[in-house]
Amino acid sequence: MKIYNTLTRKKEDFVPLNPGQVKMYVCGPTVYNFIHIGNARPLIVFDTVRRYLESRGYEVIYVCNFTDVDDKIIKKAVEEKVDATVISERYIDECKKDMAAMNVRPATIHPKATEEIPEMLEMIKSLIDKNHAYVAADGTVYFRTRSFKEYGKLSRKNLDDLRAGNRSLQVTGAEQKDDPLDFVLWKPKKDGEPYWESAWCNGRPGWHIECSVMSKKYLGDEIDIHTGGIDLIFPHHENEIAQSEAANGKPFARYWLHNAFLNIESKKMSKSEGNFFTVREISEKYDLQILRFFILSAHYRSPLNFSAELMEAARNGLERIINCVANLNHLTKGCQVGGTITENEKMQIEQAKVFTTKFEEAMDDDFNTADAISFIFELVKFANSIVNEDSTFEFLAALKKQIVLLSDICGLIVDKKEDILDEEIEALIAQRQSARKEKNFDRADEIRDELLNKGIILEDTREGVKYKRGF
């Protein structure tokens, strides 16, 4: 498997630290509002990366934080005259609802910055002890950027160019910084702001330190994959590397993955321009599975343009897969229970496997979901061309399983059959038995079909009625 590593600007073979295990950290949203469709891109893309790694047999420990203390959260809390936690908890809940609707699985751990303050204080202290950080007169703690010799290795920025090129760096706290390039680890509270006590001042953490600390706490000093949108490369991820490597004395993340931006009508999303959609707004017009399909229809490193036309194309694409699966479900209704698969069908199932191989090759090539999905389409086309009323149950089930499995790796739900519990099945079987006793064979067949529609296949044996979950 090859992964494009922003650190080396190359596709590299993927070799995790511990065989069979992947430790992955995803920079999550700042929770001051509903997430927008741009924020949905990393959530969907890296959820798919996780699903694919799991399908290849890796155990994935997936950490995705919520930044729940930040200027924008505090501003909103002041506007609404509530505590900052009211705002952050509200939007964490809303974000989780959107994630579920996009079929983004919950992370193994979703840490919140405000719950990890003691560990942050510890890392900041260790940076001060190692002379990588210092305390200014007002109690602000700054990271001494030039003390980390490899600063700039991720973003390929040179410190002297940065110094010369970015005069704005001199603005905030310039008078008390040793160097304008130094950045904040801990800052004093302002009136009305949430704060925590520390040896330096009552205050709160800077943004970058939270990810270094949460990653260390839940995944260890060294991790396999660290991700986020492309805008996070500098300064956020550059600063995370500096903090983590200076504090731990070890390389931080082995592979850095960054998704490109989602734009609207070819323009950067911006509230002031009015070209800005929350996931919630989009959910009023489209099933969020369509948004997921749309996002995965491009490679994650390519910029992606959101438009109504492309969403319609995504709707059609997704429906093509769903319709194929529905047709396979429909055809099973006419199947003989216990019919034997034919030699020709066995051969066709072998032929169909080539699409799974191609799907995997595409995913192995830096998670190329665009190509991978095109092989699901090819599989669907192939399946549509070879099934008919005479197809056996086993054959239809094998084709469906293959389509559902590949779609599931992309987090796409394409089998619209309802789930059914054992008790419900047994109740329906009992009703069918009564119908048969009363010689109401139409009703008995109806129940058999109803169960078949839900993937349950009945077998009348000498010991009574048995059932199996077909697919």
Among Zn ion, ligand AMP, none, residue 447 binds (CB under 5-8 Å by kind): none
Among Zn ion, ligand AMP, none, residue 212 binds (CB under 5-8 Å by kind): none
Give backbone dihedrals phi and psi of 8, rounded to 5 degrees, phi first: -105, -10
**35-43, 274-282, 294-302, 339-347 -> range binding ligand AMP (CB under 6 A):** 35-43
49 near ligand AMP, judged by CB under 6 A? no
Among ligand AMP, Zn ion, none, residue 198 binds (CB under 5-8 Å by kind): none
| Beta carbon nearer to ligand AMP, 158 or 270 | 270
| Beta carbon nearer to ligand AMP, 29 or 206 | 29
120 near Zn ion, judged by CB under 5 A? no
Among ligand AMP, Zn ion, none, residue 211 binds (CB under 5-8 Å by kind): Zn ion
**26-34, 115-123, 365-373, 441-449 -> range binding ligand AMP (CB under 6 A):** 26-34
Query: Least distance in Å: CB of 328 to ligand AMP?
Result: 35
235 near ligand AMP, judged by CB under 6 A? no
44 near ligand AMP, judged by CB under 6 A? no
| Beta carbon nearer to ligand AMP, 67 or 368 | 67
| Beta carbon nearer to ligand AMP, 111 or 229 | 229
Site size toward Zn ion (CB under 5 A) is: 2
262 near ligand AMP, judged by CB under 6 A? yes
29 near ligand AMP, judged by CB under 6 A? yes
77 near ligand AMP, judged by CB under 6 A? no
Residues found near ligand AMP in the complex (CB under 6 A): 27, 29-30, 38-39, 41-42, 228-229, 231-232, 259, 261-262, 269
